[in-house]
Amino acid sequence: RNWGRWGDDDELGTLNFITPAKVAEAAGLVKQGKVISLGGDFSSGGPQGAFKFRQNPVHVMTVDGGDASTLVQYGPEWLRNAVAADVSAFFADNPFRFNDDLIVMPLQAATQWDALSHVYYEDKLYNDFPADSVTSFGAFHLGIEKVADKGITSRGVLLDVVAHRGADVFCEPGNPITPADLDEIAA
- Cβ neighbours around 63 below 10 Å, total: 18
Mean pLDDT of 156-163: 86
Asked whether residue 48 falls in the same domain as residue 105, the answer is yes
| pTM beyond 0.85 | no
Range of the domain at 24: 1-39+111-151
Average per-residue pLDDT for the chain: 81
- Burial code (b: 16+ CB inside 10 Å, e: under 16) for 152-165 equals eeeeeeeeebeeeb
User: Three-state DSSP class for 139?
Assistant: strand
Condensed to tens digits (0 to 9), the pLDDT of residues 105-127 reads 777 666 667 899 999 999 999 99
CA distances to 29, 103, 142, 164 from 34, rounded to whole Å, are: 12, 30, 32, 21
pLDDT for the residue 171: 64
Contacts of 42 (CB under 8 A, 6+ apart): 57, 110, 111
Residue 92 has pLDDT above 70, yes or no: no
Domain count, the chain: 3
Q: Which residues pair with 134 in a beta bridge?
A: 139
Asked whether residue 143 falls in the same domain as residue 117, the answer is yes
CA distances to 46, 136, 169 from 54, rounded to whole Å, are: 11, 19, 25
Asked whether residue 75 falls in the same domain as residue 98, the answer is yes
**In the structure, how many helices (H) and strands (E) does the chain have?**
8, 4
Asked whether residue 47 falls in the same domain as residue 131, the answer is no
Window from 4-13, 89-98, 158-167 with minimum mean pLDDT: 89-98
Asked whether residue 81 falls in the same domain as residue 133, the answer is no
